[in-house]
Amino acid sequence: MKHLIDPTDLTKEEVDQIVELGEAIYADPGKYRDALKYHKLATLFYEPSTRTRLSFTAAMMELGGNVLGFADATNSSVAKGESVEDTVKVVGSFADIIAIRHHIEGAPYVASQISSVPIINAGDGSHAHPTQTLTDLITIKKELGHIDDITIGFCGDLRFGRTVHSLIKALSRYKGINVILIAPDELKLPDYIKQDVCRKQGIAYREVNNIEEVISELDVLYMTRVQKERFLDEDEFERVKDSFVLDSKKMTLAKEKMAVLHPLPRVNEILPEVDDDPRAAYFRQVEYGKFVRMALILKLLEWKDDPAHPMPKPEENFSDRRLRCNNARCICNCEQHVPQSFRLSDSGIIRCFYCDSRAAKNN
């Protein structure tokens, strides 16, 4: 069965098909009005969300389907201690497809292993956010006309920003991608993306620490919010929270056709004065996101039992008592029955199978 847990669960061809279908729905939404009549989507949101949950809800409604679920896990059986697998088993008997957002990294993956219906990861901790990636890809295509051959600057919280991690992974399969990372030292991109994605796939990247230095080179400027809720140290958050702010003055240095993207919500990293600039694409991006989610739901249901669209084989994984995952927010440290498991990355580093953090030695 086809799930979407990580952007690479879809082949590049499947991604392109979803983006193209999203564009077709955008052009003629009426044609899809009854496409999923009598079907149900469950949205299980264990972490706050406005856009993503409402976008999924609107997407399913515009396909003629229905939506059930929860936006606050404290009101569900989770509060009684139910595991994510049990919740998904139960909900799978009510719904045809499930979107899960979870603060625990790896939770949607573990759920997908036992689910009888397709699972969509709507964001797990600071790990991955593949439907935002589809949103970003359709936006780049609509704004620039192509995804290949672009220079994209990622600015802000590249350490905890799951949308950045997933988008870099997805872009690594397009040609001519040039990445510029704009972040303070505390918020730099995690090693596993630099080593296993950029270096392995031959993506050119460089790291700088201010926007002005590079803005004139960019086709896309991808702004992000500093993820307050992921910081374990409040002083560290205070130090970096206002690191990079985009204003009209900086926009004067940019190309005439550059697109500014932001997964939203923004806090103060883009001043409202930029909103009227035609290059500010972040509110159009929200709209494209609904159409691409409509396309995703349609395609995952169509591919559900199609042997031509399998899940990729999971990477080989192993247990080793001498190692442990140090990430307190990883599913293997949060649910007792999920064993610690590791994989050897392409760059020769042993990583947690669920959250990709580097394995630590067990004392």
| Binding-site ranges for ligand NCD (CB under 6 A) | 51-52, 123, 129, 132, 162-163, 225, 227, 263-264
Provide the minimum distance between the beta carbon of 227 and ligand NCD in the complex, in angstroms, as a whole number: 6
Phi, psi of 311 (to 5 degrees): -75, 145
What residue type is 205 in one-letter code?
Y
Provide the minimum distance between the beta carbon of 163 and ligand NCD in the complex, in angstroms, as a whole number: 5
If the CB atoms of residues 85 and 124 are measured against ligand NCD, the closer one turns out to be 124
If the CB atoms of residues 92 and 130 are measured against ligand NCD, the closer one turns out to be 130
Provide the minimum distance between the beta carbon of 286 and ligand NCD in the complex, in angstroms, as a whole number: 8
If the CB atoms of residues 7 and 263 are measured against ligand NCD, the closer one turns out to be 263
Tokens encoding 309 = 């669209």
Provide the minimum distance between the beta carbon of 225 and ligand NCD in the complex, in angstroms, as a whole number: 4
- Report CA 125 to chain centroid distance, whole Å: 10
Provide the minimum distance between the beta carbon of 38 and ligand NCD in the complex, in angstroms, as a whole number: 29
If the CB atoms of residues 227 and 317 are measured against ligand NCD, the closer one turns out to be 227
If the CB atoms of residues 164 and 218 are measured against ligand NCD, the closer one turns out to be 164
User: Which long-range contacts link 77-83 to residues 24+ away (Cβ below 8 Å)?
Assistant: 78/46, 83/335, 83/337
Sheet holding 220-223, edge to edge: 204-208, 178-182, 151-155, 220-223, 259-261
Which residues, 6 or more positions from 155, have their beta carbon under 8 angstroms from its beta carbon?
182, 183, 211, 221, 222, 223, 224, 244, 246, 269
CA distance 190 to 324: 18
If the CB atoms of residues 132 and 340 are measured against ligand NCD, the closer one turns out to be 132
Provide the minimum distance between the beta carbon of 3 and ligand NCD in the complex, in angstroms, as a whole number: 18
Provide the minimum distance between the beta carbon of 267 and ligand NCD in the complex, in angstroms, as a whole number: 9
Q: H/E/C letters for each residue in 251-270?
A: HCCCCCCCEEECCCCCCCCE
CA distance 182 to 235: 21
Element (H, E) at 350: strand 350-352
If the CB atoms of residues 139 and 163 are measured against ligand NCD, the closer one turns out to be 163
